Structure 1
Amino acid sequence: MKKLFNAALVYMVLGVGSGLFYREFTKLNDFPEGQFTQLGLAHTHLLTLGFIVLLIVLVVEKAFRISASPRLFAWFFWLYNAGVGVTSAMLIWHGTLTVLGKESSAMISGIAGLGHISITAGMIVFFIALRRAIFHSPAQPAIVESTTQA
C-alpha cells in the first residue's frame, strides 16, 4: 500500500508541476492563448491516470488485498506506471515542440502509442488480480446479529 500511496503522491506533484510548466512555458514563448498544444494533455494525464487512478487502486487494495497475488500486482504496477510515464513524456515532448514551432515526427506518436498499450496491459493485469482477489479468496464469515429478549 505504501508503494501505491507514494506513486500517487509523485503523480500529484508531477501533474501540478506539468500544469505550471504548461502555463509558464507557453507564456514565455508567446504561444497564442487558446491554441492547442499537448502540454495541457500531459497535465491531465498525470493527474487523472497517475494520481486519481492510483488513489482508487489504493482503496481497492485496502478492500480486496489485490497484492495477495504479488506477481500479478507487480506486473500491473510496473506496466501501468511505465505506460503513464512514457505517454506523459511524449505528450510533453510533442507539446514543447509545438510551442517552439518545430516539426514533430511520427516517432513521438508511435512511442506514445506504446505507452498507451502498456497502460492497457497494466489495467488488464489489474482486473485479473482483482478478479482473483474477489472470487478466489477464502470466504469471509457472515456477520450475524444476535437479538436478545428482555
Structure 2
Amino acid sequence: MRKPLHHLFVSAFVYGGLALASGLFFREFTKANGFPEDGVTQLGLAHTHLFSLGFFPFLILLGLERVFRLSAAPRLFGWFLWLYHAGIAITAGMLIVHGTLTVLGIASSPMISGIAGLGHIALTAAIVVLFFLIRSAIRRVPADGADTAAAPALP
C-alpha cells in the first residue's frame, strides 16, 4: 500500500459521511412513510454502526499507524483493510435493507440475517488480523522504547 495514512483518513471521512447520510435517510424515510417514531427498525442502527465501526475506528487506526506503522506488514495490513471494509459494507447494507423493508411493511427474508451474519464474520476476522498487526508492530519496537523512527521529533 502506497499511502496508508491517506487511506485511513479517507476511510474515516467516507464512513463519517455515510453515517450522517444514513441517519438522514432513516429520519426522512420513516417520516415520509408515516412510520411511528417509537417504532422499532434496524434502519436507525445503520447510522450508529457506520459511526462506531467505520468512522471512529479509522480515526484510531490513523494514530496507531502513525506510532506503530502497522502497514510495515503490508500483507496483513491489506487483509485487514479488505476484510474490515467488506464487513462494514455488508453489515450496514443489510441493516438498511432490513430496516427499509420494515418501514414499508414488507416481510423480511431470513437470508438477510444470514448475509448480515457474514458481514459480522468478516469484521471478526478483520479484528483478529488487526491484533496480529499490532502484535507484530509492538515486537518491532525496541525493548527500551527508544524507537526514533516510529515517531518523528516535535519541533
**Could you say whether these structures have the same fold, taking a TM-score greater than 0.5 normalized by the shorter chain as the test?**
yes
Contact 2:19 2:50 in 1 (8 A): yes
Q: In 1, distance between residues paired with 2:147 and 2:38?
A: 57
Q: Find the partner of 2:97 among 83, 93, 97.
A: 93
Aligned-CA RMSD value: 1.4
Q: 1:108 to 1:142 in 2, by over 3 A?
A: closer
**Does 1:47 find its partner at 2:51?**
yes
Within 1, Cα distance between the matches of 2:37 and 2:27? 10
Q: How far apart are 1:128 and its partner, in Å? A: 0.1
Measure the CA separation in 1 of the matches of 2:38 and 2:146: 57
The answer for unaligned runs of 5 or more in structure 2 is 149-155
Matching residue's letter, 1:29: N
Whether contact under 8 Å (2:141, 2:147) holds in the other structure is no
Residue type at the aligned position of 1:120? T
Are 1:58 and 2:38 counterparts?
no
How far apart are 1:135 and its partner, in Å?
A: 1.3
Structure 1 residue identity aligned to 2:146: P
Deviant stretches of 4+, over 6 Å: none
Measure how far apart 1:78 and its partner are: 0.7
Q: Which runs of 5+ in 1 are unaligned?
A: 144-150
Residue 9 of structure 2: which of 5, 9, 15 is its match? 5
Name the SS for the 1:104 alignment partner.
coil
Whole-angstrom CA distance in 2 between matches of 1:120 and 1:54: 16
TM-score relative to the length of structure 1: 0.91
Provide the identity percentage.
59
CA distance in structure 2 between the aligned counterparts of 1:128 and 1:47, rounded to whole angstroms:
24
Kindly provide the CA deviation profile for residues 16-41 of structure 1, in whole angstroms up to 9, marking residues without a partner as x: 00000000000000001111100111
Residue 142 of structure 1 and its aligned partner are, at CA, apart by: 7.7
2:116 is equivalent to residue 112 of structure 1:
yes
Judge conservation of contact 2:88–2:119 (CA < 8 Å) in 1.
Answer: yes
User: What residue is the counterpart of 1:141 in the other structure?
Assistant: 146
Please give the alpha-carbon distance, in whole angstroms, between the structure 1 residues aligned to 2:80 and 2:121: 13
Give the greater-gyration-radius structure (CA).
1
- The one of 114, 123, 127 equivalent to 1:123 is 127
Kindly state the Cα deviation for residue 104 of structure 1 after the two structures are TM-superposed.
Answer: 0.1
Question: Cα gap change, 1:142/1:113 in structure 2, threshold over 3 Å: closer, same or farther?
Answer: closer
- Between the two proteins, the alignment pairs up a number of residues equal to 143
How far residue 127 of structure 1 moved from its aligned partner, in angstroms, is 0.6
